[in-house]
Structure formats: C-alpha cells, structure tokens
Amino acid sequence: MNLLVVGINHKSAPLELRERVCISKEEREFLIPVLQEKYFNECLIVTTCNRTEIYGITKRADTVPDQIIAELLQFKNASDIDRKYFFDYRNEEAVRHLFSVASGADSMVTGDIQILCQIKDAFHASMTLCAEGPFLKRLKQSTCRIGKRSRRETSISEGTVSVSYAAVELLHNSLGCLQNKTALLIGAGKTGRLTAKHLTAKGIGQLYLANRTASKADSIIEESGGTYVPFDELLTAVAKSDIVVTAVDCVSPIITRPMLEKIMMQRSDRTLYVVDIGLPRNIAPDATGVTNIRLWDMDALSEIVEHNRLQRLAEVKKVERIIDEEWAEFDAWENIHQVGPTIFDLNTLFEDIRQNEVTKYRHRFDEPERELVELITRRIVNKLLHKPMVNLKHDAGSALQHQHENSLRKLFELNRSGRN
C-alpha cells in the first residue's frame, strides 16, 4: 500500500522539541501541497497538543522517512533537531498506529476524548486540499469507527479523559477546594471549552474567560458561566486571579517573564497557580523562576497521566482487540483494492469489445430490439467475467494474486489504460 507515517509525540520527544515542529492549521494548508508535489499521492497531517504526524501514500517505493522529516524541519526552520526524536512506520504498522491514536490508547492522557475530533479535522483538511484519495477515504472510515467503538465498547474514556481534565485535577490537588478561588481561562477553543466545564464542575468561585474573539467566548460563558475579559485587559485579569489556565493556539508565548514579574509585584506574597496546556507553550518557559509562581506545562501532567494509564490498562487491551478486528477488515479491503486495477482493465476491455460489436450491427435492429441486444450482451459479458472476478478477489493478498494478475494481463494484453 506504500503508506508511510513519520512523527514526533510525547513518547518520543520532550515538549520544547515538540512545540518547535507543531503544525498550525494555517501551516498545514501550505505544507500538504508541498509534500504532495514531492512525495505523496495522498497526504494527511495529524497535529494535536502532543503530536505532529505526517501520513502519506508515497509516489515512489524508495521514499525514505528521513526525506519527510527533513522537509518538515526545513519548513519549521528547525533543522538542528536530531532525527532520533522522530518515529516512522510503514503499511500495517502505520495503520495500526493511527487506529491506536484515534482510540485514545496512544494519548498522553489515556482515552482522551478530543483526539477523534482532531483526527476528523485532519481528514477534512486533506479532503479540502484535494489530498485525499481512495486509500485515505477508506482509512478515514475505519479510523472514525475505531474511535467510536473504543468509547462505546470500553471504559477507556471514563474518568480522566483529557489534558484539560488532568489540568483541573492538578489544580484541585494542589489548592484543595476551588470554591473560593478566581480562575482566568485564556483560550476559547475545544480545550478551553472543556477546561471551563471541568472548572465549573469543581465549583470554581469566579471564572474569567479571555479570548481574542468575543463571540467564541460567549458560547462557553453561556454553558459554564463566567465573565468575558478582552485581550487588551489580559494582564489586569491575571493580576487579580488565583489560577490561570492557558489553552491558546499561537506561535509564540502570549505571557512573558517580564509581564509576570510586573504582575507579581502587585500581588504581595499571594501565589499564582498557572497551568499551560498550549502547544507551542503560551507562557514563556523561563517564567518558572518568577517568585511565587507555580507553573506547570504539558509534561508536568505526567503524574496524573501515569495514574490514569495504570487505571485503564485493562481497557487498552480491549481497545487492542477492536483494533485487530478493524485491521483485519481494512486489510481485506486493501487486498481487494490492490486487484482493483486489473479488474477494471479487464472489465473495460470486454465492455469495449461489446460496445464495438453492438454498434457495428446496430442498424440491423429496430429500437425495441436494440434495447434487447444491449441487455443480452451486457448479461453475457457479466456472466463471462463473474468467475474470474470472484476468484481474483478471493485470492487477493495471497501468493496467487500476482500470478493471476500477471496471467490475465499477458493473456488479454492489458495495459495501464485498460485497453489492449
């Protein structure tokens, strides 16, 4: 199938490297056409807060992962990052990896419910950019089904199921009761919406929501309550908050160390608790050294994540069985898809012969008879081809497949256009 995936994620690389190669939605629109032109017939880029993964059906069998990695690093101006932080898989391993990601089994927080939506968004982007062909279209169906089945048939998504939930759990464990606390949530995307929901469920005393676009914040405020803060009043809101959670899609930090130093001068000795779940990071990494600030980033959630992983180990086993079932079905489709061109070419040859002969003698029949001739000749062709087609599909994926295909192409002189 010539499927290749190269990627970097929370298992293969630290946060400071992951954020340097993170692909924004806007960048994806530029990168996919470049990859398609050079390397892939079909292309998919999955990018989340913990991973950047490029999937493609290669044009050439000798395309190597290092070529795609080099293209990505050049695109992100990060050529100094070592190859060792990337992983790559081909064909079955690549498909199974995507299935595992969609199920939530490969997420930093096992059972993450956001990942399936992000994968659907990635497939939609490929379709919009004309980078989705028959393979990715079929892979999309199987991947989405995996995500739905894993949530419906297992308990992998129960409990701590997202990074936003883990962030709120971390705050709750650190501060205890949140009912008398003021929280500022920066970002009104999917992660921000979930964070607001979890903060409300923990009984947060006062919730402020800052976002560049007020309309996006309004729907979250309707669901979870709270007060909107314009972005130009962000630092004032930080100064009067006990908790700050950032979840913004941005290319550089929105809050720097000098900003926080200025803010902390107004707070006396009152500690500010900050959780940065943005990627790239929303808070400058050197802000950890500011007095009376407790700052956690994505990697700091690892303790909660590990606890979560151990609790769901049995559920992952169940998900793996679902992946086995879906892979078997996908593999069967792929095998039939492989013999599809030969079946198409043989059908085309027989149909061309039929049409030519019917056209040659068409003048000998009146209109009702012509319709009958069409019907009869079509049925004859279908019956002649039925057994060869059935047997070719039956042997798809076996050692006999290529023998049969080669024999048919030689006997009927089939070329790539489907004509002899």
**What residues are annotated to the active site?**
49
Task: Return d(Cα 295, Cα 264) in angstroms, integer.
Answer: 13
Task: Return d(Cα 330, Cα 287) in angstroms, integer.
Answer: 48
- Angle in degrees, CA 121, 165, 175, rounded to 5: 150
Q: Which residues pair with 90 in a beta bridge?
A: 4
Q: CA dihedral in degrees (293, 294, 298, 301; nearest 10)?
A: -170
The residues, any chain, with a CB within 8 Å of residue 243's CB and separated by 6 or more, are 171, 175, 178, 181, 182, 183, 184, 204, 272, 273, 274, 275
Question: What length does the chain have?
Answer: 420
Q: CA dihedral in degrees (156, 157, 163, 168; nearest 10)?
A: -120
N- to C-terminal Cα separation, the chain: 26
Task: Return d(Cα 36, Cα 59) in angstroms, integer.
Answer: 9
Only one residue has tokens 């390397």, namely 39
- How crowded is residue 144: how many other Cβ atoms within 10 Å of its Cβ? 15
- Determine contact, residues 120/190, Cβ cutoff 8 Å: no
DSSP 8-state secondary structure symbol assigned to residue 283: B
Region of residue 71 (left: phi > 0; alpha: psi -120 to 50; beta: else): alpha
- Determine contact, residues 117/157, Cβ cutoff 8 Å: no
Only one residue has tokens 């062909």, namely 133
| C-alpha to C-alpha distances, 26 to 22, 30, 318, 377, nearest whole angstrom | 11, 7, 37, 54
Peptide linkage before 65 cis (omega within 30 of 0) = no
Task: Return d(Cα 245, Cα 254) in angstroms, integer.
Answer: 12
166 CB burial (10 A radius; 0-12, 13-18, 19+): buried
Only one residue has tokens 């946060």, namely 15
Task: Return d(Cα 419, Cα 218) in angstroms, integer.
Answer: 61
Which residue type does 381 have?
V
Task: Return d(Cα 157, Cα 235) in angstroms, integer.
Answer: 36
